Amino acid sequence: MTSGVVRKYSIFNESFGKYYAIFAINIKSSMAYFGALFIGFVSSFAKLLTYSLIYKAAFEAFGPDKFPDLTLAQVIWLVVFTQSIYISRDTMHEISASVKSGQIAVFLNKPFSYPLFHYFSYLGKTIVPTVTDLAFGSVIAYFLVGPVPIDIFNVFAVLPLALGALTLIFFQSFIFGLISFWIEDPDSVSRIYHKFDMVLGGRIIPIILFPEPLRTIALYLPWAQQFYSVGKNLIIPDHSEIIRFYLLQGFWVIFFGLVSIWLFRKGVKNIATNGG
Amino acid sequence: MAETIISVKNLNKDFLVKRKESGFGGAIRTLLNPKFEKVSAINDISFEVSKGEIIAFIGPNGAGKSTTIKVLTGILYPTSGKVSVLGMTPWEKRQTLAFKIGSVFGQRPQLWYHLPPQDTFDLFSKIYEVDPKDYHERLDFLISAFEIQDFLTIPVRKLSLGQRMRSEIVASLIHNPEVLFLDEPTIGLDIIAKQTIREVLRKINREHKTTIFLTSHDVADIEALCERTVIINHGQIIFDDQTENLRKQYLSTKVIKADFETPISDFNPKFGKILNKSKFSITIEIDAKKDSVNELLDIFLSKYKVADLVITDTPLEEIISSIYLEAKHD
Amino acid sequence: MESYIKLSWEFFKRNLSGHMEYRTAFFVEVFGMVINNFAFVIVWVIFFAQFKQIKGWGLDEILLLNALAGMYYGLMVTFLGGYMRIGKLISEGGLDYFLSFPKDPLWHIGVSRMPASALGEILYGLITFTLCKYATPEGWAIYLLVGILSAIIFSQFIVLAHSLNFFFFNATEASQEIIWTTMSLSMAPQSVFEGGVKFIMLFIFPSLLIAGIPVDVIRNFNVQNVLILVGIAILITLLAQSVFRYGLKKYESGNQIQANM
């Protein structure tokens, strides 16, 4: 293994091999308990079904008047997509617990990056539920309203948005975990914060159905980039808009990323001075 | 002849433990075709306890101690055997029995954490349906006996460990139980606190004939309180006799560990058992009744340069293991 | 029976005092919960601004639903808040503690805990009720009656869901999931559940039992409907109590625990 090219490749492998391993083991553990998994499936199915029924009833009665540009199928598929992104708040709980117990100091001595460790764990935990929810949701939507035309170009176009969305959710969870260095109970603060992303993020009501001026405001907030952007650009694509979504998401990802890094550095300093 | 209030005959308790296989495929196999393994926690034990006895019930972790106590208190029912506590079969009359027994377990605090002990006492008096007049008399007695007047109205979370333990024991005695189960009641306490507790327990035992079932790793507790010691290991009773005899046989053993600045290769003691010897240190066990600790120390100090010296009692775990090994050989 | 009621009150007083030790945090929790829950109301206000009603359910009905939820959830966590811990107690062996007392263990578990936000939930329910059109003088009496019955149904449902832990190892997540899903679905306009879906919402995620039917009883209040609700409450209580006792027998055989020897 003396060739320069091979060595570079193996260093790359070595650094990221461990993160891939973290990612993989989280996927495995999210599938470990068959009973919980099964109940999880049934629950997702029931929730997606309920949302679809709500919007079907609502849109059939009032949709065509208020939203002449939308079809029922589009609305249902959009609802399914925004509902499918699985939110794991484990990151916040894990970090906050390890800060409280002082265990975080141990972690920081390990030969891997603490934020990256949590990021890949989060991805591992999120992938399976999200994909299965999407699958269930698609089945439900298909049987209720039939298929919706999807351009293959759009599928590729939204993949980065999907990753960006998950990353955004992760950063916020990471930040709330870290503020337990300074706040006694981040859980209650985060609960209120998450009400904002629930209401304004288009998670329960797709933003496209909001009344103005709420609709325009919500589109610029970070939460729209989490749940709403992927679904919107896939189901009801508007080529003029997609650039704007990219830019907005990019902005918020960078913003929350910087806040995360800043807080993390502060936290590490906090440990160094207080000894954990 | 004191009446028998606890009677255990041929008690057996087996657990069926499910063998889980690892991996996803294993999880499916376990789901469809579960395999069980029988683990014997208690293996044909029998003993009797008379009213007013204070008995030490000890054994290493996993020995079957907690399981036995759970059966006696009615929380667990056995695989086979007859048990009678205060004339009742515990698991059949658990709630009725609960009126007459008290317990203090280290891991399960009974006192409400954010409130003063007084609040828990009052609550217990109502749960145990203690007559109000009796309650106040009893409480006054317990408060002065355990000396907790000064912090009755201070929230438990602000109390020291010693204060908490004393309050816990008071809580367990409010309803004047006939049998008291105590698990590690003096752990972490200073000498004075330990002695206070031991004294009060003895007093209650004398005046009310309260039977006490004590689990403790503190040998001094056992020696101070319990006339009788029962040792359980691997689900079997391996020692059931006067604590005196335990002391005579084993507790007089001392383990002396000495570190030296000069080599001691030529040291060959005439007595005692060498547990460990190296160029600069030695660990030796001697029977303090037969051989003199002083003599040994004299040799050390006169012949060699002692850097460090530690003298300990043989830990209870070792005593129990050696008893168990002896029992095996019989 | 009477002593149990008196004792419940004693536990309530102590639970409350325990929280009052931390005065600020307590009020933050209570009012925080009210604010928290209002987010859901806001969502529906936005929704009904666009869609007038869904199969006969409009904003007033959703407000009524929320008011009822605040009441049944609030009453349950106030007086039987410990029920939320049943799963954990079973799987970690913490049930032993309650078995050592001379009182019914299920009741004891229930009264032993009350979250700080409990009264906030009840407050939220009351406030939300004043906002809907059903808040007439008779409406209040009906609301409180149905609220109590729903609380009974809901609490027994919690017992049933957690009792899974007696029969399946590591079912704490599964039982939580069932409860959360049922509670989420209970906040949806119940009129969308028709046909076969009704079966799921009655017997798997019983949101119709907890929310749907009680709301209908409030909207169409008559003796017959109340009796039906009482009947449901009685049946589910009997079921939950039997299942729990059966599970307790299993627990006492000690077989499913990683024997805490």
- Partner-chain contact C171 A191, CB within 8 Å: no
Q: Do domains B4-248 and B252-329 have the same CATH topology?
A: no
Between A and C, how many CB-CB pairs are < 8 A?
93
**Whether C170 and A42 lie within 8 Å, measured CB to CB:** no
Mean pLDDT score of chain A, rounded to an integer? 83
Chain B residue closest in CA terms to C9? B123
* Contact (CB<8Å) B27/A28: no
In eight-state DSSP terms, residue A151 is -
C259 falls within a domain? no
pLDDT at C256 exceeding the cut of 90: no
**Predicted pLDDT at A8:** 35
User: Does the distance separating the beta carbons of A33 and C170 come in below 8 Å?
Assistant: yes
Say how many domains are in chain A.
Answer: 1
Is A49 in Cβ contact with C39 (below 8 Å)? no
Residue C245 phi, psi (nearest 5): -65, -40
The residue of chain C with its CA nearest to that of A189 is C32
Q: Is B256 left (phi over 0), alpha (psi -120 to 50) or beta?
A: beta
Give the model confidence (pLDDT) of A167-179 as tens digits.
Answer: 999 999 999 999 9
Is there a domain that residue C175 lies in? Answer: yes
In angstroms, the CA B39 to CA C258 distance is: 11
Q: What architecture is domain B4-248?
A: 3-Layer(aba) Sandwich (3.40)
Per the CB < 8 Å rule, is C260 touching B66?
Answer: yes
Asked if C42 contacts A204 with a C-beta cutoff of 8 angstroms, the reply is: no
Q: What does the alpha-carbon distance between residue B177 and residue B189 come to, in Å, rounded to a whole number?
A: 24
Residue closest to B186 by CA, chosen among B199, B205, B204, B203:
B199
Does residue B330 register a pLDDT over 60? no
Q: Which of B173, B324, B168, B198 is nearest to B250 (CA)?
A: B324
Binned at pLDDT 50, 70 and 90, residue B222 comes out as: confident
pLDDT tier, B324 (very low <50, low <70, confident <90, very high otherwise): low
For residue B105, the SS3 value is: strand
Percent of the residues in chain A that have a pLDDT greater than 90, as a whole number = 18
Determine which helix (DSSP H) or strand (DSSP E) holds B49, and give its type and residue range. strand B35-50
Rounded to whole angstroms, the Cα distance separating A67 from A61 reads: 11
Measured between CA atoms, how close is A159 to chain B, in angstroms? 29
ipTM of the complex: 0.86
Mean pLDDT of the residues in chain B: 85
Q: Which residues of C27-36 are buried (b: 16+ CB within 10 A; e: fewer)?
A: ebbbebbbeb
CA angle B17, B230, B97 (to 5 degrees): 70
Residue C182 and residue C205 in contact, taking contact as beta carbons nearer than 8 Å = yes
Q: Please determine, for residue B328, whether its predicted confidence score (pLDDT) is greater than 90.
A: no
Interface with A, mutate which of B18, B24, B30 (most A CBs under 10 A): B24
Nearest CA in chain B to C12: B123
The residue of chain B with its CA nearest to that of C104 is: B95
Chain C residues within an 8 Å CB radius of A31: none
CATH number at B252-329: 3.30.70.250
Token digits of residue B139 = 């409480």
State whether B155 and C21 contact (CB < 8 Å): yes
Does the CB of B17 have a partner CB in chain C at under 8 Å?
yes
Mean pLDDT computed over every residue of chain C: 91
Classify residue C261: in a domain, yes or no.
no
- State the CB neighbour count (10 A cutoff) for residue C102: 17
The residue of chain A with its CA nearest to that of C58 is A58
* Residue that is written with structure tokens 């102590």 in the block: C14
Answer yes or no: are the C-beta atoms of C71 and C186 closer than 8 Å: no
Beta-strand runs (E) in C87-130? none
User: How confident is residue A38, by pLDDT bands cut at 50, 70 and 90?
Assistant: confident
Find residue A93's DSSP bridge partners. Answer: none
On whether any CB of chain B is under 8 Å from the CB of C224, the answer is: no
Strands (E), C32-110: none
Interface with B, mutate which of A28, A30, A34 (most B CBs under 10 A) = A34
Q: Which range, of A126-140, B30-44, B150-164, averages the lowest pLDDT?
A: B30-44
Provide the CA A36 distance to its chain's centre, in angstroms: 21
Q: Which of C10, C101, C252 sits opposite B76 (nearest CB)?
A: C252
pLDDT attached to residue C181: 92
Do A271 and A101 touch, CB atoms closer than 8 A?
no
Closest-CA residue to B177 (of B102, B86, B84, B98): B102
Residue B248 is predicted with a pLDDT of 67
| Alpha-carbon distance B75 to nearest alpha carbon in chain C (angstroms) | 6
Residue A227 has pLDDT above 70, yes or no: yes
Count of CA atoms in the C-beta half-sphere (13 A) of C97: 18
For B270, other C-beta atoms within 10 Å of its C-beta total 8
- How far is it, in rounded angstroms, from Cα A183 to Cα A177? 10
Q: Is B2 on the interface with A (CB under 8 A)?
A: no
Most distant CA atoms of chain A, gap in Å: 71
Question: Would you list the domain boundaries of chain B?
Answer: 4-248, 252-329
Which of C13, C113, C261 to substitute to test the interface with B, most B CBs within 10 Å? C261
Closest alpha carbon within chain B to A30: B24
- pLDDT tens digit string along C224-238? 999 999 999 999 999
Q: Give the C-alpha separation, A31 to A129, whole Å.
A: 9
Q: B22 and chain A: CB distance < 8 Å anywhere?
A: no
b/e map of A172-195 (b: 16 or more CB within 10 Å)?
Answer: bbbbbbbbbbeeeebebebbeebb
Query: Are the beta carbons of B24 and A33 separated by less than 8 Å?
Result: no
* Min distance C7 CA to chain A CA atoms (Å): 31
Which pair of structure tokens corresponds to residue A134? 């999407």
Alpha-carbon distance of C69 to B311, in angstroms, equals 67
Residue C59: the pLDDT is: 93
Q: Do C252 and B91 touch (CB under 8 A)?
A: yes
pLDDT band at A11, cuts 50/70/90? very low
pLDDT band at residue C171, thresholds of 50, 70 and 90?
A: confident
pLDDT at res. C86? 96
Q: Residue C261: what pLDDT? A: 31
Interface residue of C57, C181, C197 to substitute, partner A, most A CBs within 10 Å = C181
Range of the domain at C241: 2-253
Looking at the complex, report in whole angstroms how far the Cα of residue A25 sits from the nearest Cα belonging to chain B. Answer: 11
Average confidence (pLDDT) over C128-132: 94
Share of chain C above pLDDT 90, in %: 72
Residues C92-113 have a mean pLDDT of: 93
pLDDT for A7 beyond 50: no
Name which of B62, B76, B123 is nearest C254 (Cβ-Cβ): B76
Q: What confidence score (pLDDT) does residue B1 get?
A: 56
CA distances from C246 to B21, B290, C156, C239 (A): 28, 60, 15, 11
d(CA B172, CA B185): 12
List the structure tokens of B121.
Answer: 């006492």
- The pLDDT score that the predictor gives to residue C260 is 38
Q: For A168-220, what is each residue's pLDDT tens digit?
A: 999 999 999 999 888 877 887 888 888 888 889 888 888 988 988 999 999 99
Instruction: Measure in Å the smallest separation between the Cα of A136 and chain C Cα atoms.
Output: 16
A54 touches chain C (CB under 8 A): yes
The residue to which tokens 């209580």 are assigned: C237
- In contact, C106 and C244? CB cutoff 8 Å: yes
* Total number of domains in chain C: 1
Q: Does A112 touch chain C (CB under 8 A)?
A: no
Q: pTM of this prediction?
A: 0.81
Question: Which residues of chain C make contact with A43, given a CB cutoff of 8 A?
Answer: 177-178, 180-181, 205
Tell me if chain A has a CB within 8 Å of the CB of C45: no
**B315, pLDDT greater than 80:** no
